[in-house]
Amino acid sequence: MKIAFGLVAVLVILLGMIAAVGHLDGSITFGEPSADAPSGDGPSVGDTSPITGEEQAYLEFVIGTLETVSNDISTLGMVFSQPELDDEGWQSTATLLLNRIEMAYGAIATLEPSPRLQPFQDAAGRALDNSAEFAKVLRVGLQQGQTDLTEEAAAKLVAAAEAFGEAEELLMAFLDAHVAAA
What angle separates helix 3-21 from helix 151-177, to the nearest 10 degrees? 0
pTM of the model: 0.74
Note the pLDDT of residue 149: 80
Q: Name residue 2's beta-bridge partners.
A: 148
Classify residue 119: in a domain, yes or no: yes
Which is it for the CA torsion 109, 115, 119, 124, positive or negative?
Answer: negative
Query: pLDDT 10s per residue in the chain (182 long)?
Result: 344 444 444 544 444 444 433 433 334 333 333 334 343 333 444 677 889 999 999 999 999 999 999 999 999 988 988 889 889 999 999 999 999 999 999 999 999 999 999 999 999 999 999 999 999 999 999 999 888 888 999 899 999 999 999 999 999 999 988 865 44
Classify residue 31: in a domain, yes or no: no
Classify residue 21: in a domain, yes or no: no
Distance separating alpha carbons of residues 179 and 4, to the nearest angstrom: 40
Return the closest-CA partner of residue 10 out of 153, 169, 170.
153
Q: In a 10 Å sphere around its CB, with 0-12 CB exposed, 13-18 middle and 19+ buried, how is residue 17 labelled?
A: buried
Return the closest-CA partner of residue 66 out of 117, 114, 136, 121.
121
Q: What total number of domains does the chain contain?
A: 1
Question: CB count, 10 Å around CB of 135?
Answer: 27
Classify residue 16: in a domain, yes or no: no
Q: If you compute the radius of gyration of the chain from its CA atoms, what whole number of angstroms results? A: 18
**CA distances to 5, 142, 165 from 124, in Å:** 25, 27, 9
Domain with 100, as residue range(s), is 3-8+53-177
Classify residue 38: in a domain, yes or no: no
Note the pLDDT of residue 48: 78
Classify residue 171: in a domain, yes or no: yes
Q: In a 10 Å sphere around its CB, with 0-12 CB exposed, 13-18 middle and 19+ buried, how is residue 172 labelled?
A: middle
**CA distances to 23, 111, 123, 170, 171 from 117, in Å:** 16, 11, 10, 9, 8
Classify residue 13: in a domain, yes or no: no
